[in-house]
Structure 1
Amino acid sequence: MTKDHGPSIKNDEKYEALRKEGMSKQKAARIANDPNSGKKGGKAEKYEDRNKQDLYNKAKEVGIEGRSKMSKDELINALRNS
């Protein structure tokens, strides 16, 4: 039985699998909460092509702390490495 991780995790089963693979809590949450994760095709817009507000919103969605003080490049780095 999959543990319920609360409303902040949209796909508990995927989250647990990613954590067992050794991913950080933030990165596992980001992937588990993305409705497009697991879909192939590379259709996601590149971080560099997004504006700072979109990056901020994505960082907020995945729970990156300190995002309000980050530059666009710092947001990109945080999203890629969380």
Structure 2
Amino acid sequence: MPNSSIKDEKTYEEIRKKGGSKEKAARIANASAAEGKKKVSARGGKAGSYDDMTKDELYDRAKKIGIDGRSSMSKSELEKALRDH
């Protein structure tokens, strides 16, 4: 069933099939529809590795993007939550 808030349904579905969250899939699909896939993909991959971050750094990043339950998460749980966001 098409969602009117999703501008590139095909990209959205591809990301969801690969395990991306609904929010992440919508964000990428809408950006690619507005700016073009080439421009969006060129901008990706600039963030550091979560493996190299401390738990406090992961917590701060999770807080910034609004991940619920972050205060009780371990480092590995924070990493997973950030990757799945």
TM-score range, shorter chain: 0.5 to 0.7
1:10 is aligned to none
| Root mean square deviation of aligned Cα | 3.0
Query: Identity, % of aligned pairs?
Result: 48
Structure 2 residue aligned with 1:24, among 22, 25, 48?
22
| Structure 2, unaligned runs of 5 or more | 1-5, 14-20, 29-39
Would you say 1:52 and 2:55 are equivalent positions? yes
When normalised by structure 2's length, the TM-score is: 0.52
The answer to whether the 8 A contact 1:55-1:72 is kept is yes
| Structure 1, unaligned runs of 5 or more | 1-15, 32-37
CA distance in 2, matches of 1:58, 1:79: 8
When normalised by structure 1's length, the TM-score is: 0.54
Q: Which one-letter code corresponds to 2:48 in the other structure?
A: E
Give the 3 Å change call, closer, same or farther, for CA 62–30 of structure 1 in structure 2.
farther
- Secondary structure of 1:68 counterpart: helix
Cα offsets for 1:1-54 (capped at 9, x unmatched): xxxxxxxxxxxxxxx658x526523x36987xxxxxx415x4321000011111
The answer to whether the 8 A contact 1:60-1:67 is kept is yes
CA distance in 1, matches of 2:27, 2:71: 18
Aligned residues: 60
Give the 3 Å change call, closer, same or farther, for CA 49–70 of structure 1 in structure 2.
same
Structure 2 residue aligned with 1:66, among 65, 69, 75?
69
More helix by share: 2
Q: Which one-letter code corresponds to 1:52 in the other structure?
A: K
Larger-gyration structure (1/2):
2
